[in-house]
Amino acid sequence: MEFFQDSEPNVVKPIIIAAMQDMGSVGSIVINFINESLKTKKFRIAKILFPTYVIDKGGYIELPDESWEYRYTDDLIVFGGGKGQPQNNTELNALCQDVIDVSRKYSAKFIYTLGGFHTSRTFEKNPKTYITTTSQELTKQMGGLNMEITPQKSIITGFNGLILGFAKKNNIQGIGMYSELNEPEIPQYRSAISIIKTIEKLTYRKLGGTGQLEIMAQKMEQKFKN
């Protein structure tokens, strides 16, 4: 991994929201929404040294842009979004460690991550968002806020799970939010909306109207109904 710093963010003890593309593209949908809605500014970029795949354009290939941005606004740092995530453990670990280093540098209070939660439960148009944290004490606090706690033991793979492990190892409080979805291969806009509402409740901060995501959800539902 390579990391390039463009500028210094004007933040004071920020919270960090970090997630990458995952099941149903939930992580990237939420991160991209936050960046667009809050008009965040780029200050750092993470880039893979060697491509993990190539794109065949029909007779010739192109290299993918495998890079992810750190962006900021008022006492908030947002990382990730975009497409994909590192495919090997060395790069994934380096990326998680960089998020931790950025958290320490700017004295971040919390690291939030998020993604999809694959379930067979039928939830119509109202997927639940489940929460897990880096400590039992913090989970008890979440229960006191009437948050849904992850219902059973499971293994969370990829960046959107591993970053919580890095946070715990470095004594940084972390919260993971994972919203229900039935079809992991399809962009899940309602799951993203559920997480956005959960973030707003936890941070006491409005992230913007989700009307456009609702329209995208309806279009996706109509497409697969036909």
pLDDT tens, N- to C-terminus, the chain (226 residues): 999 999 999 999 999 999 999 999 999 999 999 999 999 999 999 998 888 788 899 999 998 888 999 999 999 999 999 888 888 899 999 999 999 999 999 999 899 999 999 888 888 889 999 999 999 999 999 988 999 999 888 888 899 999 999 999 999 999 999 999 988 899 999 999 999 999 999 999 999 999 999 999 999 888 877 6
95: left (phi over 0), alpha (psi -120 to 50) or beta: alpha
Q: What is the assigned CATH class of domain 2-225?
A: alpha beta
Nearest to 92 by CA among 150, 38, 162: 162
What integer pLDDT is reported at residue 226 of this predicted model? Answer: 61
* Locus of tokens 């991550």: 113
**Is pTM, for the whole model, over 0.85?**
yes
Per the listing, tokens 């099941």 go with: 23
Nearest to 71 by CA among 14, 133, 24: 14
C-alpha to C-alpha distances, 175 to 69, 148, 168, 214, nearest whole angstrom: 21, 12, 10, 25
pLDDT of residue 66: 86
**pLDDT of amino acid 199:** 96
Positions of E strands within 64-124 = 67-73, 76-81, 110-118
Give the whole-angstrom CA distance, residue 45 versus residue 132. Answer: 28
Angle, helices 189-203 vs 211-225, to 10°: value is 160
